[in-house]
Chain A
Amino acid sequence: MISDLLSSILNADFLYSVIRITAPILFAALGAVVAEKAGVTNIGLEGIMMISALFGVLFGYWTQSWFIGVVGAVVVGVLLALMIGFFAFKMKTDIVIGGIAVNMLGAGGTIFLLDMFTGMKGNTGSLVTRELLIPTVDIPLIKSIPFLGQVLSGHAVLTYLAFLLVWLIWVVLYKTPLGLNVRAVGENPNAATSIGVSVQKIKYIAIGISGALAGLGGAFMSMYYSQGWNSGMVAGRGFIALAATAMGRGEPVGTMLSSLLFGLAQALRTKVSGMQGVSSYLVSVIPYLVTIIGLVLYAISIKNKLKKRHPVAKGAE
């Protein structure tokens, strides 16, 4: 049985699916990375994904263009994130509460809005036709490489975008003036204020970007992965993204790796659920357990680092 499992994992189709499954998690996780760098905790990613996913489909259907649909999803994501920001920065609502509020909106408000706009109940049924899906691309040279070609070519445009964004976000954070400001605001807001950088403006920008990325994740789900919107489709990916960021230490590349881990676990689960004698449920547990273990290891390593610098009084931690 193990050998069966192994052989089915180590084939190109499986690895292809891992990449595909990772993409939406990666989008949201990158959103969390950008927000965290500015010192902002956006736990509303789940809700943003849900709502953006819906609007992606709606805009796409109304304009009959998948591209506008995706753009629409991004715009909605940004607006939602800015709303969380407004309530957190201006109205002093706890930002975690604001995030939970958006998650609630995402859970039920979407069904409501779908009904309101189209009269459909709970899913978009046949609204999303083939032409409205995000197109896949076969990359000319790569697709001819044996094994790797099958793994890497033929993904949706957005899939490639997700992984491209890992590098892009890294560049923005570490190579642009905006990135410098974001990291300054996140680490030492006083330093930023003392040279005239508006901390609030930067936080809005950061949370806005996280909303845009979550929007892309949502669009990916509804306009490609699930080929339509339904109320259960994001299924906690927004929360998994938070965990992936935590495990990736808030850095783009680390987050990509932990997102891949989650994607792997989820692909495994699908693979295994058909098999005899292996519980897909138990396999589903793996990514979450791995996160907890990852967080524990991370926390231990930080503790050791601090201890080396200077001994802290017992109980004064």
Chain B
Amino acid sequence: MNDRRLLLFSLVRGLAAILLALAVATIFIFISSDEPLNALKYLLLGPVVSFKVSGNVFNTTSFLTILAAMIPTIFSGLAVCVMFSANQFNLGGEGAIMLGGFVGALLGIYLKLNTGLHQVVCVLAGALAGGLIMLIPAVLKVKLGASEMVTSLMMNYVVMFVILHFLNFVFADRSKGATQTFPFQETAKIPEIVANGTKLTWGFVIALIFVVIIALFMYRTKWGYAIRMIGINQSFAQYSGMQVGTVIILSQVIGGMLSGMGGSIEVLGRFNTFLWRELPGYGWLGITIAILAKNNPIFVPFAAFFIAYLNKGCDLMATYSDVPSEMIDIIQAAIFLFFAAEQFLAKYRQKIVVRNAQRDLALQESAASQGGKI
């Protein structure tokens, strides 16, 4: 019961943080816009509501595009959940996503397979590539104690430039104006669930399946358990007999695989060729999502939806009003700062903890007087 109250407190505090972040955004909107209320309308309601003269209508198409936008970020969010759970500040998701997309794309262009098998092979290859690349910061951390944050940040750039090199000099389709590869074969593309142009592909279903898989992995398998325990207290994990080094590497490789998978699914689902010319940015979104989800895979889709919703809202606000779409970054930054602030509303948490402790002591005393029986 006490834990439930603490849980409630966490929820309320999270909501308060998000509201505060939105309040910050609102302030900015009021300062910068000539029509703040209109802007707010598009930000908060626009993603799912069509404002028609005849009345406001639920905009299904828009809603579906939001779901489609969640596909890469769910994978990225899951990846960060796994890595951060082991207390590894690996920021290499960006590079892994791009690499996964590129490898998947190449196999989609040059490999000849039947549909069904083709997509699976491409996506698995993307995942494998992502996992392998994460080995570098992971092994360097475990064997040499080198900061996984710096090495993973560097790897992002290395991966990006190597891909750009191959993109420009080896795999470029010279017949096109902008630099891009040859088109994917139809057998490699991941189809939409409903062919309506929303780009909501079966990748969404796969993403949700992986939410379940990773949730099970983190909370119902020995590897996930080890990852979490190591993240909480490495000394304890070591003393209990866990293979700390191996598990740390595993956590980052899994993070890389999820990122790579997300990248290949997104590229083969949304586009016809590979045309990313810089790091796509899903890695950073993944971090926001993981923070909102408190590293729990089950909450990732919700957090991803929230972020995708806000993103769409900012885009609409930019199109139909006069507030630039980059507001999303301001909102994200504010969420980061408030949501992750342990001391936020700490006084109230303290009250709950103290009340809990007093209750515990009372229970103990009564138990002791009954001869130690609960």
Contacts and interface: CB of A to CB of B under 8 A. Distances in A.
Tell whether any CB of A sits under 8 Å from a CB of B in the complex: yes
Contacts of B150: 242-243, 246, 291, 295
Interface residues of A, number: 48
Given A92-B341, A115-B324, A281-B164, A97 B291 contact: yes
B363 interface: no
A102 interface: yes
B149 interface: yes
Nearest to A46: B153
Contacts of B161: 281-282, 284-285, 288
Main secondary structure of the interface of B (DSSP, over half): helix
Interface in B75-124: 89
B205 interface: no
A315 interface: yes
A303 B146 CA distance: 11
Given A92-B342, A281-B161, A281-B165, A108 B329 contact: yes
B214 interface: no
Interface string B312-348: 0000000000011011111011101100111110100
A279 interface: yes
Contact of A93 (B140, B244, B326, B337): B337
A92 B343 contact: yes
A286 to B, nearest CB: 9
A296 B155 CA distance: 14
Contact of B151 (A104, A281, A295, A302): A295
B326 A243 contact: no
Interface string A49-78: 000000000000000000000000000000
B154 A243 contact: yes
A90 B346 CA distance: 11
A81 to B, nearest CB: 14
A-B interface, 8 closest residue pairs, ranked by CB to CB distance from nearest: A108-B329, A108-B326, A281-B165, A92-B342, A101-B336, A116-B32, A299-B144, A91-B341
Given A109-B326, A299-B145, 8 more contacts: A90-B343, A96-B89, A100-B336, A108-B328, A112-B323, A239-B153, A299-B146, A315-B244
Interface of B: 28, 31-32, 89, 136, 140, 144-147, 149-151, 153-155, 157-158, 161-162, 164-165, 168-169, 238, 244, 284, 287, 291, 323-324, 326-330, 332-334, 336-337, 340-344, 346
Interface of A: 43, 87, 90-94, 96-98, 100-105, 107-112, 115-116, 121, 236, 239, 242-243, 246, 279, 281-282, 284-285, 288-289, 291-292, 295-296, 298-300, 302-303, 315-316
